[in-house]
Every structure is written in C-alpha cells, then in structure tokens.
Amino acid sequence: MTDKSLMPVERIEKAIFFIREQKVMLDSDLADLYDVETKALNKAVKRNIDRFPADFMFQLTDEEWESLRFHFGTSSSWGGRRYPPYAFTEQGVSMLSGVLKSERAIKVNIEIMRTFVRLREMISSNAKLAKRLDELEKKYDSQFRQVFDAIRQLMAPEQTKRKRIGFRQDNK
C-alpha cells in the first residue's frame, strides 16, 4: 500500500473473482469500496446503461450466485439480496469512475486499476516461468525430472480440501 492509497491492496484483491473466465468485481464489493450503497451504484449504472455493454458488466445467473454464496458461507435466505449481483469486468470498473463522479470514486478506481494490472503481470510472469521450465526440462536429462516436478508443484495454486459437513448416507 502506498502512502497515498485509500485502502490496502489486499482488500481489493479479495474482491476480485474469476467468473465466466474473466476477472470481475461484484456491485456490492465496489459499492463498499466507493463508500456508497449498492442500490445507489446500480441506479447510477442503469442511468448510464449505454456505457456498460455486456463485456463491461453482466448479471450473475442464479447458479453462479448460489456458488458464490456457498463460497462466502452465507446460507440464510432471509434478508440480504433478492436478486443476483452485477459483475463488472476491468473495463466496467474503469467506466464506473465516470458514472459516480466523486473524488473518492476516482481515487479508489486508480487503486483498483493498479491491482488489476498487478494481477495481470503476476499471471503473465507465472506463464513465462512455466514455459522456461518446459524448455529447461527438454534440455536436461531425466535425472532432473524430480526437481522440475517439485518446482511445478510449488507453482501450482494450493488446493484446499474441504471436509463435508452434515450426515452422509452410504449406499451399500
């Protein structure tokens, strides 16, 4: 976090999800970052809907929303949202600063754009490293295979195993 930053980068990174093969942020997370109500953010977007084509913003399907709710750990059907949220791509988030027109929205947008760029650079760097590793593996003989396999395991995203909760009936 720079000294001019409004919030920690980690807070922004945690609000970025990978949905429909795109990095997106949900309307409620953006509203929280911009310090406005979700309802106000969505109204501003709808007043300027021509600025938000389908590749800038889309509404989650019920299945996508249920999957995310499960991810968050929310289970109550009482209270909260009555409809799936809107997801904004990087371009959609960029467009929001022009729609909201507050000084905070502009500053927060700058931080969000920097975070998207940083994520893109990390992904690119990891892809380059994997390609270089493949080239080295072809060059050296099989005695280094264990070393290359260990490096690949370190590069792979951590898979967390979740214990199932509740009663499970075995069909025997």
pLDDT-based confidence at residue 149 (cuts at 50, 70, 90): confident
- On whether the CB atoms of residues 41 and 85 are closer than 8 A, the answer is no
Other residues' Cβ atoms within 10 Å of the Cβ of residue 27: 23
In tens, the pLDDT along 25-80 reads 999 999 998 888 999 999 999 999 999 999 999 999 988 888 887 766 554 454 56
2 φ, ψ (degrees, to nearest 5): -80, 165
Q: What are the sequence ranges of the domains in the chain?
A: 9-122
Give the span between the Cα atoms of 13 and 136, in whole angstroms.
33
Percent of the chain with pLDDT over 90: 23
- What is the dotted CATH code of the domain comprising 9-122? 3.10.260
